[in-house]
Amino acid sequence: MQVYLPIAEMSVDAFLLVGIGFGVGWLSGLFGVGGGFLLTPLLILIGIPSPVAVASGANQTLGASVSGLIAQWRRGNVDAKMGGVLLVGGVLGSLAGVQLFALLRRIGQVDLAVSVFYVVVLGTVGGLMVMESVRAILRRRTATKRKLHEHFWMHGLPLKMRFRRSRLYISIIPPFAVGFGIGVLSAVMGVGGGFMLVPAMIYFLGMPTSVVIGTSLFQVVFVAANVTMLQAVQLGTVDILLTMLLLLGGVAGAQFGASMGTRLRGEETRALLGLLVLSVAMSLLWGLLRRPANLFSSGPAL
């Protein structure tokens, strides 16, 4: 069934979109991430213009993360104070990111920038995840105990604050910086940033794993809402029909994925997610290196 997307101004198969939403939702439920990093490249692959794919991807991430956030909030797994600090950084970061995106669009380098961001960020994150989880799987046998958290330069920074839920007493500068960086990335890549935020919170901020997922969802929901609003006002590229079709499949898929995820062990899940992230990065890298079939492309002049 073909459906005409009013903002993308093109006709797409509705079942294909629902199917993509379901698949991405399933994976995101399985791994506990928003799945935007898979969704945006897939949308670009089926011919949705990059600006619409990025903006609608952020909008869909918002919807997909809300149900997860509600569940985590009910269990008390959200550190609202830490989330708030991350969020201030995230909102400012996404403001900067949307300006960067508008600039890239004017000079005609959106496709390049989106691809390069994906290759660099996904390549790094995916590689680290695979290495870390393989090491963890190997270490499981020897079972040496790690220290709860270690002190390094970060703990010497000023503006310290107590985060009760996270059992941390640290400077607000690192979480602010993390939030800002993720905000920029989420505006340019159309992702919520959960797949970067979760490792950053565990390894960089030293937060306990129990509150990480909930707090990252808290940040993702609000940053994605901010990106949606900025993209809608400044660029007019959010396609609500596209978002809704993706969410229709996404919310169902996430539930199936989540129930399957409980049967997988942590390290194996992380290794699989890392491989998935790496393969997306590789396919985008191939797209950049391969000689394009048509050297010319056209677009509306701005």
Partner 1 sequence: MIRFALLLLLAWAGPGRAQELPLVAALSQNAVEVTTGFTGTSLMVFGSTEGPIGPGGDEVLVVARGPTRPVVVRRKVPVLGVIWVNGPSARFAGVPGFYFLAGTRPAWQVLPEEERQRNGLGLDSLPLTSTGARSPAFRAALLELESDSGLWVEDPAPVEIAGSRLFHARLPLPAAVPTGDYQVEVLLVRSRRIVARQALAFRVDRVGTADRIATVAADQPFLYGLSCILFAALAGWLGSVLFRRG
The contact set with partner 1 (CB under 8 A) reads: 2-4, 6-7, 9-11, 59-60, 62-68, 70-71, 108-109, 111-112, 221, 225, 228-233, 236, 238, 240-241, 243-244, 247-248, 250-252, 254-255, 288-292, 294-301
Which of 41, 175 has the CB closer to partner 1? Answer: 41
Shortest Cβ 136–partner 1 spacing (Å): 31
Shortest Cβ 66–partner 1 spacing (Å): 3
DSSP 164: T
DSSP 160: E
The rounded distance, in Å, linking the Cα atoms of 255 and 278 is 24
* Sign of CA pseudo-dihedral 25, 30, 36, 41: negative
Among residues 94, 31, 17, the alpha carbon closest in space to that of 68 is found at 31
DSSP β-bridge partners for residue 170:
161
Which of 11, 279 has the CB closer to partner 1? Answer: 11
Shortest Cβ 271–partner 1 spacing (Å): 27
Q: Which residue has the tokens 């459906």?
A: 3
Shortest Cβ 48–partner 1 spacing (Å): 13
Which of 59, 166 has the CB closer to partner 1? Answer: 59
The rounded distance, in Å, linking the Cα atoms of 226 and 59 is 9
Shortest Cβ 112–partner 1 spacing (Å): 5
Which of 63, 183 has the CB closer to partner 1? Answer: 63
Helix (H) or strand (E) holding 10: strand 10-13
